[in-house]
Amino acid sequence: MTAETADRAADDAPGSRRREQRGWYFYDFACSVYSTSVLTVFVGPYLTSVAKAAADADGFVHPLGIPVRAGSVFAYAVSVSVLLAVLVMPLAGAAADRTGRKKPLLAASAYLGAAATAGMFFLDGDRYLLGAFLLIVANASLAVSMVLYNAYLPQIAQPAERDAVSSRGWAFGYASGALVLVLDLVLYTGHDAFGLSESEAVRICLASAGLWWGAFTLIPLHRLRDRRVPPGGEGTVPSGWRQLLGTLRDMRRHPLTLSFLLAYLVYNDGVQTVISQASIYGSEELGLDQTTLIVAVLLVQVLAVAGALGMGRLARSYGARRTILGSLAVWTLILAAGYFLPAGAPVWFFGLAAAIGLVLGGSQALSRSLFSHLVPAGKEAEYFSAYEMSDRGLSWLGPLVFGLAYQLTGSYRDAIISLVIFFALGFVLLARVPMRRAVAAAGNPVPDRI
């Protein structure tokens, strides 16, 4: 039996697949805590407070001699991290394809991100540059690790299993995010009882997310296995860029698929920016405390699952595109409501969080399933790789717009309402895509409702 035949036999064995699948779920369980506790809740307001401590009398810090409003530091750091990830992701993907050794690369990116997150414990005083640097490293590392993590899915699950396996991983991530947020809430609200200052409690919450990320990454690294590269499959690292460009050139033969992808990139950038900047808006503009923000994010976590299931049922009745268009209208109303939200009113902020949760999971899940109908047969992995790369590639623009709006106006209300353009433009672009014709042009059977 050749090594390649042995790999194939192991892949076909149900017991072997299930073992890898169970290990695979745990990377989502490990890293989702960073997305919820660190990026969504704690680091934005805390880094902003550190930057303000370093600001001059006019509220500006001066990295590399450039005047930057202290309130824009977090948004700019997120943008830089995404740009860095876009540069590294094709190289990491090409190296994994060339060598067949995804696991060492996954380990390197995961533990670099976990170490940077744990290092946030030392973010105090006026060390805003340290905070921005650690945020950039952690955020970029997470993006790179997710490319490698997702690349395992076609290897550990047969086509009929992939929806279920992918959904379970998503559920594991939401479960860990909610669990750790509850623990963070206990520590933060009871910091006096634990003999900690508020700053120390926040820094422990940040650092513990890095420790959680690193600890639970051991499970997928133990259970996942690398596959041998077939003869002739070796390439050079730059081939990652060539493959991506080749896929985009191939997409030109399917202009309607590209039209949908453009619409998705625009409105999804708005979604990601609202999620990453909501805690800054709540703390700085609305004057809400950290406890309120944690409870609001927990509410989003819980309702996102219900929202995804509910929007899935709506899609069966009205079609996925109409349901997504409806969700984009709701996103626009959410931003408008956020603009007029009164300061110091947690109840209204919880209402806004509930609305976000109800449209968050569904709009992203339905977008992915809708795109799957537009992928030519035999090119699934190739097109979804470009889908993810393009998604990451544009998701720096929303935080940049948010940061610039605050930089120019000094108002977070103006910054949040500036994001309406992403949902409005995304709505128009998606509404112009003739979905039934697009599915047929990709060579796929046209569903009764789409």
Which runs of consecutive H residues, i.e. helices, occur in 281-345?
290-318, 320-340
What's the pTM value of the predicted model, to 2 decimals? Answer: 0.75
Quick check: helix, strand or coil at residue 60?
Answer: strand
Give 60's strand partners.
69
Residue 1 confidence (pLDDT): 46
Calculated CA dihedral for residues 26, 29, 34, 37, nearest 10 degrees: -160
Dihedral sign, CA of 431, 437, 442, 445? positive
3-state helix/strand/coil string of 187-219: HHHCCCCCCCCHHHHHHHHHHHHHHHHHHHHHH
Contact between 336 and 417 (Cβ < 8 Å): yes
By CB neighbour count within 10 A (0-12 exposed, 13-18 middle, 19+ buried), where does 367 fall?
buried
The rounded distance, in Å, linking the Cα atoms of 59 and 65 is 14
The b-or-e profile of 41-73 (16+ CB within 10 A means b, else e) is bbbbbbbbebbbebbeeeebbeeeeeebbbbbb
What confidence score (pLDDT) does residue 34 get? 95
Taking the C-alpha atoms of 210, 211, 214 and 217 in order, what is their torsion angle to the nearest 10 degrees? Answer: -110
- 61 φ, ψ to 5°? -105, 165
Identify residue 253 by its one-letter amino acid code. R
pLDDT in tens, the chain (450 residues): 454 554 554 555 667 788 999 999 899 899 999 988 998 888 988 999 999 999 998 889 998 888 988 988 988 898 899 888 878 877 777 777 677 788 999 999 999 999 999 999 999 889 999 999 999 999 999 988 988 887 787 788 776 676 567 767 777 887 888 899 999 989 998 999 999 999 999 999 999 999 999 999 999 999 998 877 665 555 444 455 666 676 677 778 888 988 998 898 889 889 888 887 888 888 888 998 888 888 888 888 788 777 777 877 788 788 888 989 999 999 999 999 999 999 888 999 999 999 988 888 778 777 877 777 787 876 665 666 667 665 655 566 888 888 889 888 888 899 999 999 999 999 999 999 998 898 888 887 787 777
Burial class (CB in 10 A: 0-12, 13-18, 19+), 37: buried
What gap in Å lies between CA 296 and CA 302, rounded to an integer? 10
Nearest Cα residue to 44 out of 70, 68, 66, 64: 70
Q: How far apart, in whole angstroms, are the C-alpha atoms of residue 200 and residue 174?
A: 26
Judge whether 316 and 263 are in contact, CB under 8 Å.
no
Q: How far is residue 397's CA from residue 208's CA, in Å, rounded to a whole number? A: 30
Which of the 8 DSSP states describes residue 445?
P
